[in-house]
Amino acid sequence: MSHVVLRNVRARYGATEVLKGVSLELAPSEFMAVLGPSGCGKTTLLRVIAGFVGYEGELIVDGKSYDDVPAHRRDMGIVFQDYALFPHKTVSENIAFGLRMRGRSRAEIDSRVDDLVRLLQLGSLGQRFPSELSGGQQQRVALARALAIDPKVLLLDEPLSALDKKLREEMQVELRQIQQRLGITALFVTHDQDEALALADRVVVIEKGMITQTGTPRDIYSRPVNRFVATFIGRSNILDARCVRVANGQAECVVLGSIPVRIPAQDLPPAGEAIPLSIRPESVRVAPAGAAGNAGMLAAGEVMHAVYLGTHQELRVALDEGTTIEARIVGREAFACGDRVAVGWSEEDVTPLRP
């Protein structure tokens, strides 16, 4: 149940700076997902915490500076992306490894391995070798090995990415249950936005070695701070607005030439700059043109693209003003290419982004 603080952490490989001043804090027992595209520095961040790569800045665990603590004394539990099990050791020996390195007694090791075999439902697999296990079973062994030393922090590097979809979803639930049962602080790296939103207490979004946004899954999805977050996590329509006037803390803006929208004045960029606004496809209402449901609609257009996906329909509408907008329609109404439609949205579903 450790408390972890990173302050202004920088890491480089040769001349290339890969982490450019990362600051974050994990509360005891918090499950935090690190989300970002491939190459943004996620694995490097875990390696910094584990003590495998040098860095500038500070790492503080439970109030103690770890900057001079070598990797083998940090007591971090790590699950690597490719599991990295020892191929010539059995399941039990793999799980026992960290305890043996720490010189624990035979009896203590046996009892701990038993506990973990039970926790991860590895039942009768103790004497098998990694090559005799399925991907899902290897994943459990890697997790058991990481947990064996009762680590301060559990560091997981895309641990589920090698599993097929169904198994991955089962393991997500299980991983979350184990993390909560043990109350262990965990940092979970993924490039899968659904996984991050589904599992984490909070999500950190990293872009090119810098944190773009930290927040609960709900914050991140409903209030993305910039274009990158708005389009990397879910889909977004981004419309440029222009401010007409400011009154009573509200900026009165227009989008698509003449559609009014109000945003908090504090979200305005410096005068003269366009204000990008994010509107999620599921927040866009669509109705047949000229129908009774057109009251309160904001723009007219033509359906360019319509895909039926069972739970919903995805539409791309070319607005008469010249922009294309995406909509996600749940319900019985069906639209087809070429349909004339009216579209609209509510002001509370419009999120101003940083330019």
By CB under 6 A, name the binding residues for ligand ADP: 13, 18, 36, 38-44
Burial 283-313 (b: 16+ CB within 10 A, else e): bbbbbeeeeeeeeebbbbbebeebeeeeeeb
The 241-270 contact track toward Mg ion, x by CB under 5 A, reads: ------------------------------
Cα-Cα-Cα-Cα dihedral sign, residues 329, 332, 337, 342: negative
Cα–Cα dist 308/33, whole Å? 32
* Residue with smaller CB distance to ligand ADP, 44 or 138: 44
Q: What are the φ/ψ torsions at residue 61 (nearest 5 degrees)?
A: -120, 125
Element (H, E) at 122: none
Q: Which of 9, 22, 43, 243 binds Mg ion (CB under 5 A)?
A: 43
Instruction: Determine, following the binding rule CB under 5 A, whether residue 185 of this chain makes contact with Mg ion.
Output: no
CB 325 within 8 A of CB 284: yes
- The residue at minimum Cβ distance from Mg ion is 43
Of the ranges 37-45, 109-117, 176-184, 295-303, which one interacts with Mg ion (CB under 5 A)?
37-45
Cβ distance to Mg ion smaller for residue 42 or 168: 42
Choose from ligand ADP, Mg ion, none: what does 13 bind? Cβ within 5-8 Å by kind.
Answer: ligand ADP
Q: Using the minimum distance from each CB to ligand ADP, give the nearer residue, 48 or 329.
A: 48
Query: CA distances (Å), 302 to each of 141, 235, 269, 322, in order?
Result: 54, 20, 32, 11
Q: Which residue has the tokens 């069972």?
A: 310
Closest approach, Cβ 231 to ligand ADP, in A, equals: 18
- Per partner kind, with CB cut-offs from 5 to 8 A, the member of Mg ion, ligand ADP, none near residue 38 is ligand ADP
Query: Shortest gap between Cβ of 191 and ligand ADP (angstroms)?
Result: 7
Quote the least distance from Cβ 350 to Mg ion, whole Å: 34
Q: Closer to ligand ADP at the Cβ: 80 or 97? A: 80
Mind giving me the DSSP string for 296-330? T--EEEEEEEEEE-SS-EEEEEEETTS-EEEEEE-
Number of H helices, E strands in the chain: 8, 20
39 binds, among Mg ion, ligand ADP, none (CB under 5 to 8 A by kind): ligand ADP
